[in-house]
Amino acid sequence: MERRDPAEVATMLDLARYDGRRRFKGSVYLSIGLTLLAALIVWIFPSFRDAMDMDELLAAYPEPVLQVMGIRTMATLEGFLAVELYVFGWIILLGLYLAYSTAGVIADDVDRGRMDVLLSLPISRARVVGEKFAAMAVPIVLVNILTPIVVYVGAPLIDESISGADLLAVHLFSIPYLFACAAIGLLASVVFDRASIAQRVALGVTFALFLVESLLEGTDYEAVGAIAPMRYFDPNEILIESTYAVGDAAVLIGMVIILLLASQFWFRRRDIS
Amino acid sequence: MAAIELAGLTKDYGEVVANDDVTFSVERGEIFGYLGPNGAGKTTTIRALLGLISPTDGTARVLGHDITDESDLLEGKRDIGYLPDSPSFDEGATGRDVLELHARIKGDERSEDLLELFDPPLDREVREYSHGNVRKLGLVLTFMHDPELVILDEPTSGLDPLMQQRFAEFLRAERERGVTVFFSSHVLGEVRRLCDRVAIIREGQLVTVEPVESLLDRSGKVVRLRTAEPVPFERFDPSSLAGVHDLETSLDREDGAADDSEAAFTECTFTFTGDVNALVERVDGIGLLDLSVEEAPLEDIFMRFYGAEDEVGAERSPDSVGRDESEDEVGDEQTHGTARSSGGGDDA
């Protein structure tokens, strides 16, 4: 292979492709797991629907629980899915997973001495951070491919129907949300030397943001929740009301850019030790 | 333009000054050894040269590029190969994955030739690699883009003696091709076999920079011998054999109960800086059970030739020579030990 000139190298996403390929297999498994969860939730919905009055059940829940889970209604498949699959599976589980997983991308390489070899290559630190973050697109996109298909196909099987557009939208709008959670992990990853610490911090911060956003809603401190990515992605709104908050998605994208730039800035200035 | 120029390079960590005003140059086309005991600051210098850590004072240039300017240094990195002291790659990737990534980013001009010389199992995952195989992969990656300058941190630790030999030949051939080699070591024998010039660092401070020949004359070897019959003390006394230092003897009393250990011995250890032929003459015909001639630990050499400014280096036992700078891997410690004793064996 011939040596490339620097300009050509700069346009390549070699590291992102390498990292992305290495994440592919795990992401497929993750995607299958979440799809099974989705299938299970669709499958159990009829027995819930038929066995009890769901709104009565909801009334039995204490208000804080409804608030934390963002529950509006569970009497329809949309409401049931929004809570059981998208709030629980996407906002909480996947959000935490991506923060945790991304927290390892820089810190683990530094921790294990791999960053020395990587940075001996003619590749800038900002690019290392940027490309490793870009590789997180692999799990983020993959988890959003199989699940909506299974839900869309599964709904008629239980004599329900669900709007394909809403379903598509909830997955599409979850992508900037998941990138924002990953970006929280990225910042932790460049700040802390040890992967285990970076990952714990990322998990803690992400979960705290989730609690802050959901518990402070409706109180005098509601404004504090504005820093939480969870405020800008609402599956209930999309699935039940068919309202697509494009502005919120833009806020999430802004968050991602700010966190990414901050991570790059920090990583350029620090010693690798 | 020198390949490497350090100008007052300083890295102050607060509690320890890892590099204190280090200044020297490495000329193009030479093999330059950076010698010092473990923890002396060799790795700190190397990491600063690669821009991994930023100096607290002073600066350096590699191939004319300023190490404190990231984009300037990036230009230089296209022509630099680097092998860290304990190279590490993605565990789940195969050697070939890593090789292809490096090929895409920095180019590949000679990996095929290198793979014939150092043959890591490319199709296996790195997690299955032995210490030596990781290092072989590291060597291929270091040289594959045909760099003008290679920086190697303790390059032979973890290589078996055969590979060390092959590696030494390889480095000399690289020098013939015009490559500049800068490598660190705590093993004197390795440095003296390979280098044109040597810089010695101790406790963060540069002690000396000199051609390897002048160092050759001044270093010593540790001689240990054991005999069946008691040997008269005079035979290895410094007054009768020039170049004997720190003679320590003991007598196995069961065999020679009548003898006085002050007059004779069956076991002795000393450091020898004299003529090897004279030593061989003295050893001849005394009924040896065992004889070993090894490189003197660096600490001892520093003590003898450069003086101990404080007692930290002096009090270190020879055993501590094998300890890795990061002190993290037991495996490394063992392999350093191997490198040291085989170096001694070569000279014996």
**pLDDT tens for the 273 residues of chain A, in order:** 444 555 444 457 899 999 999 999 999 999 999 999 999 999 999 988 887 777 777 777 888 777 777 777 878 899 999 988 999 999 999 999 999 999 999 999 999 999 999 999 999 999 999 999 999 999 999 999 999 999 999 999 999 989 999 999 999 999 999 999 999 999 999 999 899 999 999 999 999 999 999 888 878 888 888 999 999 999 999 999 999 999 999 999 999 999 999 999 999 999 998
Q: How far is B158 from chain A (nearest CA, A)?
A: 16
A3 falls within a domain: no
Q: What's the pLDDT at A2? A: 45
Q: What residue in A sits closest to B92 (Cα-Cα)?
A: A22
User: Residue A25 sits in which domain range?
Assistant: 14-269
Helix (H, G, I), strand (E, B) or coil at B120: coil
Judge whether residue B276 has pLDDT over 90: no
Would you say residue B7 has pLDDT above 90? yes
Set of chain A residues whose Cβ sits within 8 Å of the Cβ of B54: 271
pLDDT for res A63: 80
Contacts of B108 in chain A (CB under 8 A): 1
pLDDT in the model for residue B137 = 95
Domain ranges of chain B: 4-217, 219-347
* Residues within 8 A of A (CB atoms), B 313-332 only: none
Mean pLDDT over residues B137-155, rounded?
95
Contact B137, B83 (CB under 8 A): no
pLDDT given for residue B323 in this prediction: 38
Residue A153 counted as domain residue: yes
- What lies within 8 Å, CB to CB, of B345 at 6+ separation is B294
Q: Are the beta carbons of A1 and B103 separated by less than 8 Å?
A: yes
> Mean pLDDT for chain B?
82
Residue A5 within any structural domain of the chain = no
- Sort out which chain B residues have CB atoms less than 8 A from A1's CB and list them: 103-104, 107-109
CA quadruple A140, A141, A144, A145: dihedral, nearest 10:
-150
Report chain A residues whose CB lies below 8 A from the CB of B107: 1-4
Q: How far is B266 from chain A (nearest CA, A)?
A: 49
User: Sorting pLDDT into bands at 50, 70 and 90, what band is B313?
Assistant: very low
Task: Give the residue on B whose Cα is nearest the Cα of A114.
Answer: B88
Decide if A7 is inside a domain: no
Q: Does residue B212 or residue B289 have the better pLDDT?
A: B289
Residue predicted with more confidence, B37 or B52:
B52
Q: Which residue matches tokens 């402070």?
A: A216
Using DSSP's 3-state secondary structure scheme, residue A124 falls into coil
Q: How far apart, in Å, are the Cα atoms of A120 and each of A130, A135, A271, B347? A: 17, 21, 14, 35
- A17 Cβ contact partners less than 8 Å away, ≥ 6 residues apart: A135
> pLDDT band at B320, cuts 50/70/90?
very low
pLDDT given for residue B262 in this prediction: 62
B328: pLDDT strictly greater than 80: no
Q: Are B229 and B68 within 8 A, CB to CB?
A: no
Question: Residue B211: exposed, middle, or buried by beta-carbon count in 10 A (0-12, 13-18, 19+)?
Answer: exposed
What local confidence, expressed as pLDDT, does residue A49 receive? Answer: 81
* Alpha carbons B191 and B184: distance in angstroms, whole number: 8
> Which pLDDT score, from 0 to 100, does residue B163 have?
83
The arrangement of secondary structure in B4-217, i.e. its CATH architecture, is: 3-Layer(aba) Sandwich (3.40)
Containing B210, the helix (H) or strand (E) segment is strand B205-211
Q: Are residues B97 and A18, on separate chains, in Cβ contact within 8 Å?
A: yes
Is the confidence at residue B259, as pLDDT, over 90? no
Check pLDDT > 90 for residue B165.
Answer: no
| Residue B331: per-residue pLDDT | 36
Residues above pLDDT 90, as percent of chain B:
48
Q: With a CB-CB cutoff of 8 Å, which residues 105-134 of chain B face chain A?
A: 105-109
Work out how many CB contacts closer than 8 A connect A with B.
86
Using the Cβ of B307 and the Cβ atoms of chain A, whether some distance falls under 8 Å is answered with no
Number of domains in chain A: 1
